[in-house]
Amino acid sequence: MTHDAVPFGAIILTGGASRRMGADKAALDWDGQRAVDRVAALARAAGAVRVLTAGRDHGLEHVDDPAPGAGPVGGVLAGARALAAYGLGRALVLAVDAPTVTVEDLQPLLSAAQPGAVYDGLPVPMALALAALPAEAEAGWPLRRLVERAGLAVLTCDETVRARLRGANTPEERDRLSR
Ligand SMILES: Nc1nc2c(ncn2[C@@H]2O[C@H](COP(=O)(O)OP(=O)(O)OP(=O)(O)O)[C@@H](O)[C@H]2O)c(=O)[nH]1
């Protein structure tokens, strides 16, 4: 069975402080749509059969972090638990602050031979086999530690794609990305 054929869910990370942006990045308008809605549409278009937000609730199917401000790995763990309860063993993890990513950008992750992958230098987005989540993983871990310990394959991408995957953390980056 190819990776493409294995059903997967999506976890959209919506927590964090948005300090550099100065406003909740999930609720920012991108071409008439909230970032969180754009990323949810992306996840569905990429084939996710269930789409969850993890962190801050914006009215979509949602899981809370294990503790507020626990860090993004807490969101991954909470989302993974929820997807496993639906019988889903794979997750595509997306960041709400990267709303211009395209399905084509994600294709290498989704069709990677290994059960999980990230792009070089970017811990999110990641495609993850939930069975590969280290049992000792904790909410406070940096995402990079999760990537290393889960043994995710590292894929490369070109600069244009990387700019979309990196997303926007500041108002200036948002302006640049929306052009
Ligand atoms: N669920 C969850 N997601 C988080 C958490 N911290 C950050 N994220 C998400 O992870 C992605 C990358 O976040 P960062 O840009 O590193 O941090 P941020 O808190 O959003 O922004 P800054 O305060 O400017 O650093 C974004 O999609 C955030 O919504 C967290 O504690 N829980």
pLDDT the model gives residue 73: 97
Each of the 179 residues of the chain gets a pLDDT tens digit; together they read 444 578 999 999 999 999 999 999 999 999 999 999 999 999 999 999 999 999 999 999 999 999 888 899 999 999 999 999 999 999 999 999 999 999 999 999 999 887 799 999 899 999 999 998 999 999 999 999 999 999 999 999 999 999 999 999 999 999 999 98
pLDDT the model gives residue 1: 44
d(CA 175, CA 64): 30
Q: Which atom of ligand 1 is nearest to the CA of 98?
A: 27
Q: Going by C-beta distance under 8 Å and a sequence separation of 6 or more, which residues neighbour residue 17? A: 69
Cα 104 to ligand 1 centroid, rounded to whole Å: 24
pLDDT the model gives residue 150: 94
Ligand 1 in contact with 115 (CB < 6 A)?
A: no
Bond into 125 cis (ω within 30):
yes
Q: Do 58 and 68 contact (CB within 8 A), yes or no?
A: no
Cα 85 to ligand 1 centroid, rounded to whole Å: 25
**Nearest in space to 9 (alpha carbons), one of 57, 74, 67, 61:** 61
Cα 11 to ligand 1 centroid, rounded to whole Å: 13
User: Do strands 122-129 and 90-95 pair parallel, antiparallel, or not at all (unpaired)?
Assistant: antiparallel
Ligand 1 in contact with 70 (CB < 6 A)?
A: yes
- Residue 117: beta bridge partners? 127, 153
Q: Which atom of ligand 1 is nearest to the CA of 76?
A: 1
Q: What is the ipTM of this complex?
A: 0.98
